[in-house]
Amino acid sequence: MHILILGAAAGGGFPQWNANNAQCQRARAADPMVPPQTQSSVAVSLDGQQWCLFNASPDLRQQINDNPQLHPRADGPVRQSPIRSVVLTNADVDHVAGLLNLRESQPFSLFATARVQATLRANSIFNVLNPDFVTRKETQLDREFSPLPGLTVTAFAVPGKVALYLEDPAAEGFGTMAGDTVGLEVCETASGRRFYYIPGCARVDDALRARLAGAALLLFDGTLFTDEEMIVAGEGIKTGTRMGHIAMSGPEGSLAALADIAVEQKLYIHINNTNPVLMRDSDARRQIVDAGWGIAMDGMEISL
């Protein structure tokens, strides 16, 4: 399995358009220790020819341009793409807006839960995906599906939150229901070798820990280093908990909760512009690395 990190940053990307913190300034100044990152998406392939996207970020056009693996083949027909399918983990803007780049009557399959598909149907702008070419497939939680030949994917519910623009302020949990945020188990069918892609997760529980054991790779929610980071930075009024994202650090954080799971390689992904791990020379980065984690970066390719 080939896994290509298209975007390692959380919603807004890094630097974020209106964020003026020190690390965004360093990224804008092309500081080599603080490389810019686009928004959350990975591509997966078995043969290097056919690719499946996990989430479609607003930066997808730039991501396709920057990664030759996703270009049309030079000897191919006049309309062509190696992208065969897209799998969504939720309806967040940073995970669905990129679908608007996949217009132009190109065949592919679009996999998402019923709640996420309903959101896309309710937004007419997604009708740019011509139904004569784009097949929308409803996934069931905990039921295998195959977005590429030889690849088996299972979506499972993780603690999370409904997309911001769908929040119901009057409802418990802002109207969040099972299937609003999922993790993905991705398995090479022949070998059984598997990895997990979980860009949004509010809490690590025993069920999740048990599921992850034995995986070759974990790509996990690295939105925030500390739960109150955005408030401290003066960039927001919400904790990570309120946004549906577990922090890395602290007694309840993912570093502690996932310290002893048997996973060959652990990478944080979906990293917010306020998270100091985006700076290679930060203490936070050192803590992560010392704990055996890596940080996903745009253009990174992992073969399992």
Residues that bind a copy of itself (CB under 8 A): 11-13, 15-21, 24-25, 28, 36, 38-39, 58-59, 61-62, 64-65, 68, 70-74, 76-81, 83, 93, 96-97, 100-106, 119, 122-128, 164-166, 233-236
Question: How far apart are CB 141 and a copy of itself at their closest, in Å?
Answer: 23
Of 165 and 286, which has the nearer Cβ to a copy of itself? 165
Of 139 and 272, which has the nearer Cβ to a copy of itself? 272
Nearer to a copy of itself by Cβ, of 254 and 273: the residue is 273
Residues 6+ apart with CB under 8 A from 103: 128, 129, 130
The torsion defined by the Cα of 248, 279, 303 and 76, in degrees rounded to 10, comes to 120
Beta bridge pairs of residue 267: 219, 294
Neighbours of 188 (CB within 10 A): 17
Task: Report the nearest approach of a copy of itself to the CB of residue 33 (Å).
Answer: 18
Nearer to a copy of itself, 39 or 85 (CB): 39
Least distance between a copy of itself and beta carbon 104 (Å)? 6
First to last CA, the chain: 5
C-alpha span between 195 and 185 (Å, rounded): 6
Rounded to a whole number of angstroms, the minimum distance from the CB of residue 38 to a copy of itself is 8
Q: Pairing relation of β-strands 83-87 and 108-113?
A: parallel
- Residue 77 or 251: the one with the smaller Cβ distance to a copy of itself is 77
Closest separation between CB of residue 177 and a copy of itself, Å? 16
Q: Which of 185, 167, 189 is nearest to 176 (CA)?
A: 167
The CA distance from 37 to 23, in Å, is 12
